[in-house]
Amino acid sequence: ERETSIFSKRTSKSKEAFEQSRKVLLGGVPMSWMSKWSGGYPIFFKSARDSKISDLDGNIYVDFCLGDTGAMAGHSPGATVSAVIERVRDKGGITTMLPSLDAVNAASALSARFPLPYWQFTLSATDANRFALRFARQITGRSKVLVFSYCYHGTVDESFIVLDNGVPRSRTGNVGPAVDPTDTTVVVEFNDIEAVRRALSTYEIAAVLTEPALTNIGIVLPVAGFHEELRRLCSETSTLLIIDETHTFSAGYGGATELFGLDPDMITIGKSIGGGVPVGAYGVSDAVAERLLADQEADLVDTGGVGGTLAGNALSVAAVAATLEHVFTKEAFAKMIDLCATFEQGVTDAFFEFGAPFCAVRLGARIEYRFTPSPPLNGGESASYGDDLLDQYFHLYMANRGVLMTPFHNMALMAPTTTLEDVETHTNLFKEAVGELF
């Protein structure tokens, strides 16, 4: 009871700041999701470095939330900060409506780890997905898209849809939608390849947009053969396959695309690649690029609908180039994944020790506790197994003792700067938390 209602740690300055912020920030937060933390008010942070965050009261937290992946590089990684300072202070110029060489370096770094040759930049992963869907409709001349239930692609109108007992409906939180996603979108369960087959043979679909594994309703891994068959069905029906790597980049150096051997027509990504600086990107295959450029040349397409004044700015692309080259190295991923395996071992040992009927699911450097004996197969299963009270219990148990997990579910992410000591801090607390329950 106590753990699920309020912070018991001393956070009076955050509470005070929240009282003030409610007078000028809608709901007291600069972005609505920041109110999702359990505890009645968000912790206001003062500073953040590597794997740690300090709050206004001087509490220090080991941060496994890492900005819900936006800070997977760790907070203010040295190489990114140097590149940002060099751009802003030494060279000068952030927004110029002219390309910089850093943009070339950033795109080259993306091409070096994802199997697509051409890239452009946006300000967020949401924008990257919106533009990828526009391109797909343009190229195919088809209007509908297919997504998987509880796959999340940002606040993109067409992807704000889930299956509710087999019936498509707008996702909770779809505030004032511009379009009804049940008109624009076909939605099926992840891992249900028969449903994909039926959908692609029934409807004219421009693109399938999917994460390689679901990561926003807990982690749901693909079953063997799912992605291979998905690729085959897309090729057979000339449907474009768009892989959203925004969260699954945590799977390894080349993301889940490399881990699962995927062969997408487009990739969308954002969050972590800028080392915390706002940025998104989309990559396209040779065939997609050729078609888009030919259409532009023939004046069939005016690309005014796929851009943004601040997109591709010199600051964002300098951050991407530095983060990919110096922070997310092969060695860094090996360390992150290794630590996450140790984290997983700690969690499963605790479940075993106390006979808790729970499990953990891990994809590379990202892990989630599940309050079910075995992992779910799709988004619907995952949503119906959710236990909000248990989620809150673990969030607050951890936050009250100096460990932050992702607030939307019990997910932890390792940064290149996460230490074994950080993981052990979590393991010890986690054992206590499970022990108090069982």
Q: Which residues bind ligand PLP (CB under 6 A)?
A: 124-126, 129, 152-154, 211, 216, 244, 246-247, 270-271
CB of 81 to ligand PLP, least distance (A): 20
CB of 151 to ligand PLP, least distance (A): 7
Round to whole Å and give the CA distance between 357 and 373: 5
Residue 195: what residue type?
A
Cβ distance to ligand PLP smaller for residue 7 or 150 = 150
Cβ distance to ligand PLP smaller for residue 14 or 122 = 122
Round to whole Å and give the CA distance between 55 and 47: 7
Cβ distance to ligand PLP smaller for residue 64 or 393 = 64
| DSSP state string for 169-225 | EEPTT--S-SS-HHHHEEEE-TT-HHHHHHHHHHS-EEEEEE-SSB-SSS-BPPPTT
Q: Is 307 exposed, middle or buried (0-12, 13-18, 19+ CB in 10 A)?
A: middle
SS3 label, residue 284: strand
Are 163 and 381 a contacting pair, CB within 8 Å? no
Residue nearest to ligand PLP (CB): 154
CB of 126 to ligand PLP, least distance (A): 3
CB of 220 to ligand PLP, least distance (A): 12
| Residues 6 or more apart in contact with residue 232 via CB below 8 angstroms | none
> Nearest CA to 76 among 87, 85, 89?
85
Cβ distance to ligand PLP smaller for residue 335 or 366 = 366
CB of 63 to ligand PLP, least distance (A): 17
CB of 123 to ligand PLP, least distance (A): 8
Cβ distance to ligand PLP smaller for residue 231 or 271 = 271
Find how far residue 153's CA is from the centre of its chain: 8
Cβ distance to ligand PLP smaller for residue 154 or 380 = 154
Cβ distance to ligand PLP smaller for residue 132 or 347 = 132
Tokens 């609908």 correspond to what residue? 305
Are 158 and 206 a contacting pair, CB within 8 Å? no
CB of 421 to ligand PLP, least distance (A): 28
